[in-house]
C-alpha cells in the first residue's frame, strides 16, 4: 500500500475477526517500529508480542480500556522503554510507525494507552519486564470484524498556519 493511502486508511479498530495476523506480519511490524527516529538514536524500547490467549486475558484484567485485546484473532504488541529523557517522544514515533506498517500489511490496529496509566507496573510484572523498563503503549493488531468507525479529523485549513499563527 502506498504510504499516503496507509496514513488515510488507518483507523482505531475495537472489534476484531477471528483471523490472526501471521508471525511474519507481526515481525515486520516490529521491524518497522525499530526504525523510528529517536533523540540521540538511543532506541530505548523493547517490544513484547503477545499472542497467547490466556496471557491476553490476563492483560485485559489489568487494562479495562483495551478489552478487545482478549478477542480471538488479536495479537498485542506491548512497547516498553528505558526511562530516558525523551522516551515518550521516541516511543510514540515507534508506535505510529508500527500502526502504519500494520495498515500497509492490510491489518487493523488500536493504540491502547500505557504511559501514565495505573496498570503500568502490573503489566510490566505480567510480561516479565526487567527493572527499569516501563510500559508506554499496547497495540492491538488483527483484522477488523466489519467496518471500522472513522473518527472525525480537524480540517487542514483549521490546523495549518504558514510562517506564524
Ligand X SMILES: Cc1cc2nc3c(=O)[nH]c(=O)nc-3n(C[C@H](O)[C@H](O)[C@H](O)COP(=O)(O)O)c2cc1C
Residue nearer to ligand X on the CB measure, 59 or 110: 110
Q: Which segments of the chain are extended strands (E)?
A: 45-50, 75-82, 108-113, 133-142
What's the DSSP call for residue 50?
E
Contact (CB, 8 A) for 133 and 46? yes
Binding to ligand X in span 27-56, by CB under 6 A: none
* Closest distance of CB 145 from ligand X, Å: 15
Determine if 14 is a binding residue for ligand X (CB under 6 A). yes
Residue nearer to ligand X on the CB measure, 22 or 65: 65
Residue nearer to ligand X on the CB measure, 38 or 68: 68
Binding to ligand X in span 66-125, by CB under 6 A: 66, 110-113
Residue nearer to ligand X on the CB measure, 49 or 148: 148
Burial string for 17-34 (b: 16+ CB within 10 Å, else e) reads eeebbeeebbebbbebbe
Total residues contacting ligand X by CB under 6 A comes to 10
What's the DSSP call for residue 162?
S
Amino acid at each position: 500500500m502506498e504510504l499516503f493511502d496507509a496514513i488515510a486508511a488507518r483507523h482505531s479498530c475495537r472489534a476484531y475477526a477471528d483471523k490472526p495476523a501471521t508471525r511474519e506480519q507481526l515481525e515486520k511490524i516490529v521491524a518497522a517500529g525499530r526504525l523510528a527516529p529517536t533523540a540521540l538514536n538511543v532506541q530505548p524500547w523493547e517490544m513484547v508480542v503477545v499472542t497467547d490467549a490466556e496471557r491476553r486475558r490476563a492483560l485485559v484484567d489489568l487494562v479495562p480500556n483495551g478489552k478487545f485485546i482478549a478477542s480471538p484473532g488479536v495479537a498485542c504488541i506491548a512497547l516498553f522503554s528505558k526511562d530516558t529523557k525523551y522516551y515518550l517522544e521516541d516511543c510514540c514515533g515507534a508506535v505510529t510507525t508500527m500502526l502504519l506498517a500494520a495498515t500497509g500489511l492490510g491489518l487493523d490496529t488500536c493504540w491502547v494507552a500505557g504511559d501514565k496509566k495505573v496498570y503500568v507496573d502490573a503489566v510490566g510484572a505480567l510480561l516479565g519486564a526487567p527493572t527499569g523498563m516501563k510500559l508506554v503503549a499496547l497495540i492491538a493488531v488483527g483484522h477488523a470484524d466489519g467496518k471500522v468507525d472513522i473518527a472525525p479529523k480537524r480540517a487542514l485549513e483549521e490546523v495549518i498556519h504558514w510562517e506564524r499563527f
